[in-house]
Chains A and B, each alone.
Chain A
Amino acid sequence: MLSDELIPLLISVGPFLVLLGIGLTFGTMAQQRHLYLLDQRETALGDMLLTNVGNIEADHGDLVTGSTVVAYDFFRRIMILFRKLIGGRFRMHERFMERARREAILRMAEDAKARGAVAVHNIRLVTANLGDSGSAMGGCEVLAYGTAVWEKGDPHG
């Protein structure tokens, strides 16, 4: 009978397919929502000046940081395994890292804005791999830091 072979097959492959489905659905949903929120927050930030130029003349400055730790969903992690066989650009990874970087920069800029700064200069971006996903400390950390500056005459933040 066909079902005799089908059921063990489903039992062995089933959970994997379910995880793939969950990863694909929720991962894509989360990505879309995140991109939408990023756009909104970047608009809300207004005319905050972000540069990576050092030696800026200003009245007062202080260090600000923003960071995020991100991980792939199950579906994308499997797709990357396939991509490793074929080679080429990891477009998925590019989009993913870009999202994480925007988030880290936004957090830094929002921190600066909340403290009344008008600009952040000398921004540095650092990416660190925290070990394999799924292992003890999976994921990838993106950190943005820079010197927030206040306009002349402003009270010190």
Chain B
Amino acid sequence: MSNDIILSNMDTVPGKTIVRHIGMAQGNVVRAKHVGRDIAAGLKNIVGGELRGYTELLEEARRDAIRRMVEDAQAQGANAIVNVRLSTSSVTSGASELYAYGTAVWVE
């Protein structure tokens, strides 16, 4: 996802050795729906199936959350993040929180 930092959701980074554990890195984004997408999704609610607008919305938001996590890790001087976890929750009706967290490490 990013060229300058390696992300892995395992305890290790494949092909590398962890030299130092730095600490938690995290990033979150709260995104609300927008009207155009909501109307389309409302129509889709009759027919059912995938709500493509929301899928895209959440994908975008997740990329942002991951980017913030990466920035957090870089600020701590890491070059990789291991054990990355992603979660989604609906904080209030109409808004969702995307949260990404992991452990910033230095690998060689």
Residues of chain A having any CB pair with chain B under 8 Å: 19, 22-23, 26-27, 30, 34, 54-63, 65, 67-74, 76, 103, 121-122, 124, 126, 128-139, 141, 143, 145-147, 149
**Binding site secondary structure of chain B:** mixed
Across the A-B interface, the 9 shortest Cβ-Cβ residue pairs: A73-B48, A136-B94, A61-B14, A58-B14, A63-B7, A128-B88, A69-B54, A27-B48, A26-B47
List 10 extra interface pairs beyond A30-B48, A71-B51, A126-B88, CB under 8 A: A62-B7, A68-B50, A68-B55, A69-B51, A70-B50, A72-B48, A126-B87, A130-B54, A137-B90, A137-B93
Known A67-B58, A74-B46, A126-B86: A136·B11 in contact at CB below 8 Å = no
By the criterion CB–CB under 8 Å, are B88 and A22 in contact?
no
Q: Within 8 Å of chain A (Cβ to Cβ): is B21? A: no
Q: Within 8 Å of chain A (Cβ to Cβ): is B9? A: yes
Residues of chain B having any CB pair with chain A under 8 Å: 1, 6-15, 32-33, 38, 41-42, 44-52, 54-55, 58-59, 62, 66, 84-90, 93-96
Which residue of chain B is the closest to A29 with respect to CB atoms?
B47
Cross-chain contact of A63 among B32, B55, B84, B93 (Cβ < 8 A): B84
Q: Nearest-CB distance from A17 to chain B (Å)?
A: 13
By the criterion CB–CB under 8 Å, are A76 and B48 in contact?
yes
The count of A-to-B residue pairs whose CB atoms sit within 8 angstroms is 149
**Binding site secondary structure of chain A:** mixed
15 contacts between A and B (CB under 8 A): A23-B47, A30-B47, A34-B49, A55-B10, A56-B10, A63-B66, A72-B45, A126-B86, A130-B96, A134-B45, A136-B93, A137-B41, A137-B96, A139-B51, A141-B58
Cross-chain contact of A54 among B11, B32, B46 (Cβ < 8 A): B11
By the criterion CB–CB under 8 Å, are B88 and A73 in contact?
no
Cross-chain contact of A58 among B15, B49, B55, B84 (Cβ < 8 A): B15
A130 and B94 alpha carbons, distance in the complex (Å) = 8
By the criterion CB–CB under 8 Å, are B14 and A69 in contact?
no
